[in-house]
Amino acid sequence: MLLCVSASHKTASFELLERLSTQTTRIAPLIAAHDECVQGAVVVATCNRFEAYVDMDEPVTAASAVGLEAALLAIESATGVPAAELDGSYEVISGADVAAHLFSVASGLESVVVGEGEIAGQVRRALTEARSDGTTSGELERLFQRASETQRDVKNGTAIGRAGRSLVRLALDLADGRFADWSRLRVLLVGTGAYAAATLAALRDKGVEDITVHSPSGRGERFARKHGVAVADAEAFAHAARLSDLVITCTSAEHPVLDASVFTGVFDAPSPAARRLVIDLGLPRNVDPDVAGAPHTDLLDLETIRLHAPLEELQATDAARALVRDAVQRFTVVGERRTVTPAVVALRAHLLELMESEVARAQRRGDDGRTEQALRHLVGRLLHTPTTRAHTLAEQGRADEYVAALELLFDITVDDGEDDAAASPLAG
């Protein structure tokens, strides 16, 4: 059984999400090690959400409760946020609804800005990290792979993929009203990761030419050479910040890299009448909130950006939602069929064993092969209807009836271990 414990911008404050994202220990391995009935775990952590996807051994009584306990204890161990403090800030999703949720998340339908593209890469990286930690399971692999496929279908087949805007571009759009001519701005970009590259591209689309980069981790020189911008080292950082009309931070630093002290004292901006803007895109936050009180300085952070994000209906399309629903239906059908696969394999093995016994008897009597051929054809015909019926019953949620019938009629004990299912060509 799949389970998702989700805290997002829809259920939790950015302050709490920031604390959840500050961790020195990976959470998925802690979840997976909680109990033997936990089959696997994948954690998706972004600036707008923190989600633990857990694969539970379904026959376990109260599997949902065990999975939730595993996630909450792991979160507390890795981040220091106790379960009691999370009350009311997360939701628990289970069963088929997990696929519907993740497919929507991966497609950008649950983001602050509906249709934003960064989340797709974050979902893929979460699976890669879980593989590295050895915490995936067959069902989680299938879930996340189908989520990425759905995201590509939504991106390529609907307007939402082409019209969606990232948080970076939304933040710059919110700043449009205060900058009459972007080409005359002095901009300081703090950070050198993928988000910084996306920010740089968005700035250039706005016409910005004077861009300086600073890296708290010392990677500024390489980024500057690659992208053709100026660089400010640690000693020049404060001066560059004071000279800038716009400062954008997007680093993975766990502590603020900019505070009000940088702007205290001499006002070095090109015009004393101007007000600089600081945009903080980091989570954890890169900018101390006291910057909002610094002279001639305004602060735009993720919390404020979220409040100005357009309503979902303005960007989400019926076509995108329909693609997600179709993908969830396919995922569910295949999953239900997989639940009955061990029973189909057991029936097939039972009939083949009987056939092989009769073939051996015929061969001892000197059969020329025609009896064997006839028996194989007969067994194939006999298996067709029970196999088709098994899949139909599974899709109706009645796989247990099929298993019970096999045990009653043929005294077949069904082994539902994954090894048998994976080895069978009938496994889906």
Q: Which residues are catalytic?
A: 47
Residue 285 neighbours by CB under 8 Å, 6+ apart: 18, 256, 301, 302
Looking only at Cα atoms, what is the longest distance across the chain? 107
Tell me the one-letter amino acid at 216: P
Tell me the one-letter amino acid at 180: A
d(CA 96, CA 324): 13
Distances (CA, A) of 286 to 277, 278, 352, 369, 423: 14, 11, 65, 77, 50
Give the position of tokens 């005359």.
184
Task: Please state the φ and ψ torsions of residue 287, each to the nearest 5 degrees.
Answer: -120, 130
